[in-house]
Amino acid sequence: MKEKVVLAYSGGLDTTAIIPWLKEHFDYEVICCCIDCGQGSELDGLEERAKLSGASKLYIEDLVDDFCDNYIIPCVQAGAVYENKYLLGTSMARPAIAKRLVEIARKEGATAICHGATGKGNDQIRFELGIKALAPDLKIIAPWRMTDIWTMQSREDEIEYCHQHGIHLPFSADNSYSRDRNLWHISHEGLELEDPASEPNYDHLLVLGVTPKNAPDQGEYVTMTFEKGIPTSVNGEKMKVSDIIRKLNDLGGKHGIGIVDIVENRVVGMKSRGVYETPGGTILMEAHQQLEELVLDRATMETKKDMGNKMAQIVYEGKWFTPLREAVQAFVESTQQYVTGEVRFQLYKGNIIKAGTTSPYSLYSESLASFTTGDLYDHHDADGFITLFGLPLKVRAMKMAEVEKNKN
């Protein structure tokens, strides 16, 4: 009986060419597994394509709600943003995919898992760290790093290889952006984006929305509610998280929200330039942050910001299945107990404009914050506070003056 390999299958040219390649070089029975994290029409026709390419079986696994509830929401609650811009759309999905690949491999009795990530990117790290953490006994096959037997270097090479193995599918050799899509975002790399000096061709590039310039001239008000840091409704309509993101994607795309052009530092040591569209995610992150401003105390906010940066690094580097991620997430979840309330804002030409936030747990006191004197705050108390708070600065200045005097 042949050994089995589970292939992370997208249906694209790369992973389609890998199917006959695995059979030719390893004599594996190839079981394809496509993980649906919300990539939409990209899943059409996959079963026929996988079978025509030589796979014995195809799993199409719907992970949309799992992705939203167990990966996206913890990152939203943490405020995890990589290098101040990237909302981790690809990064968050990889551990969810790796976990399901391992589950399918166990179900099928497979001895290996194969992925089509390149040897220059972050995804190879994310997939493989996830697999190692969950199934250290499984072999991992990464064709793009096996240059002694993976000799294909271009789309033309892959198409020719497929034709040689009797696979005639409607793949084209034309140049296009390299994209990754799920419910949270879509990323774009390649073509003019490879030169940081070039302006993105947004008319050709954008998929989920329009530029702020092409957005409506009329703004649109949106209201969201949260319970313990989890979004529960949009414009008065209660929905599960995945449907909330879909709704926000529509609204954000319409108004040019969440388009990011970034040169980021990959884990493997190089810089890469890409454009990310995250319309709904950008709105959700901003609305959650607006509510936190109202209910979290200063010290917790400061520490949580550090933890958010740490969470972003953990997720970006593929270290989801680690004690550190669990510990950071546990801290974040403890801060979300009172992140409940309503956020209202206006979407207008790429902007999310505050229009009012309320919470039963608000720490804002109008009587304290106003310029009038209330019972809780005596202006004279500030004298002693500033004296003590500024004492180290005063002492240092006095000592430095004394040093200078002694020099003279």
3-state secondary structure 312-328: HHHHHCCCCCCHHHHHH
328 CB burial (10 A radius; 0-12, 13-18, 19+): buried
Q: In this structure, are strands 186-189 and 178-181 parallel, antiparallel, or unpaired? A: antiparallel
Q: Where are the beta strands (DSSP E) in 209-366?
A: 220-227, 230-234, 237-238, 259-265, 271-277, 341-348, 351-358
Q: Which residues contact 166 (CB under 8 A, 6 or more apart)?
A: none
Nearest CA-CA partner of 120 in 194, 46, 50: 194
Phi-psi group of 65: left, alpha or beta (phi > 0 → left; psi -120 to 50 → alpha; rest → beta) = alpha
d(CA 319, CA 116): 19
Q: Where are the beta strands (DSSP E) in 250-326?
A: 259-265, 271-277
Strands ordered across the beta sheet of 271-277 = 178-181, 186-189, 271-277, 259-265
54, 30 in Cβ contact below 8 A?
A: yes
Residues involved in catalysis: 14, 94, 123, 178
The 3-state DSSP class for residue 57 equals strand
